[in-house]
Amino acid sequence: MSDQVAVALRRIRERIEAAGGDLGSVRILPVTKGHPVSAVRAARAAGLREAGESYAQELLAKAEEVDDVRWHMIGRLQSNKVRQIAGFVRLWQTIDRLSLAGEVARRSPGAQVLVQVNVTGAAQQGGCPPERVAALTEGCTDLGLEVRGLMALGPVGSPEASRAAFRRVRELADGLGLPERSMGMSGDLEVAVAEGSTLVRIGTALFGPRAGVSAVGN
């Protein structure tokens, strides 16, 4: 698996550069949900030191087996799951409501977070409405959390359909002076990079198709 992942990673870096991205300012987050722990190890062997998971249980299971990886929580999160994974998560990417922020602040004081913004209107994707991002960011800061930036999912459909959504994320982040913009996945990373992504979350293009059916954002 390591060799395949290393080859896939080179290809992703080429895609980022071809889209006008600078590899020094666009990070690649391997998304290992739906893949065995060997995927985490392969990504680690290829030089990636972070990994993203969408489900608390799955994150926990893998985190207990591999140390030396900085975990990102990228899925919709219920407050009652925060406690279990707080010891492992280094970046909470899906903070979309103050109650969740409060629980993260309680279990992991001073944690780094991203505010997830819903720029597509699709309720199942989670995220707070764009007009509430500023207030939620302030609320997180008041709780002692370190808001690094914003995270968003593009609309389902053609990659080009993501462009307006990602542009909006960029504008919102710039307006709030936030440096990190987590946007772009295997299918729409070029558009995301062109619109200013600093962190692309890549599953399929690195590890192949997932075994189970994992709805995006869950």
| Site residues for ligand PLP per CB under 6 A | 31, 33, 54, 74-75, 153, 185-187, 201-205, 214, 216-217
Residue 174 Cβ, how far from ligand PLP at the closest point, in Å?
22
Output 1 or 216, the one with its CB closest to ligand PLP: 216
Output 74 or 101, the one with its CB closest to ligand PLP: 74
**What is the identity of the amino acid at 169?**
V
Per DSSP (E only), the strands in 35-168 are: 50-53, 70-73, 89-95, 112-116, 146-151
Shortest CA distance to 86 belongs to which of 49, 55, 60? Answer: 60
Distance CA 160, CA 154 (A): 10
Residue 108 Cβ, how far from ligand PLP at the closest point, in Å?
20
Distance CA 32, CA 129 (A): 27
Output 22 or 213, the one with its CB closest to ligand PLP: 213
Measured CA angle at 200 (ends 10, 92), to 5 deg: 135
Query: Could you tell me the two tokens for 135?
Result: 């207030």
Residue 179 Cβ, how far from ligand PLP at the closest point, in Å?
19
Output 12 or 140, the one with its CB closest to ligand PLP: 12
**What is the identity of the amino acid at 60?**
L
8 Å CB contact between 29 and 53:
no
Furthest C-alpha separation in the chain:
45
Residue 202 Cβ, how far from ligand PLP at the closest point, in Å?
5
Output 108 or 197, the one with its CB closest to ligand PLP: 197
Shortest CA distance to 147 belongs to which of 100, 198, 92? Answer: 92
Output 112 or 197, the one with its CB closest to ligand PLP: 197
Residue 187 Cβ, how far from ligand PLP at the closest point, in Å?
6
Distance CA 25, CA 199 (A): 8
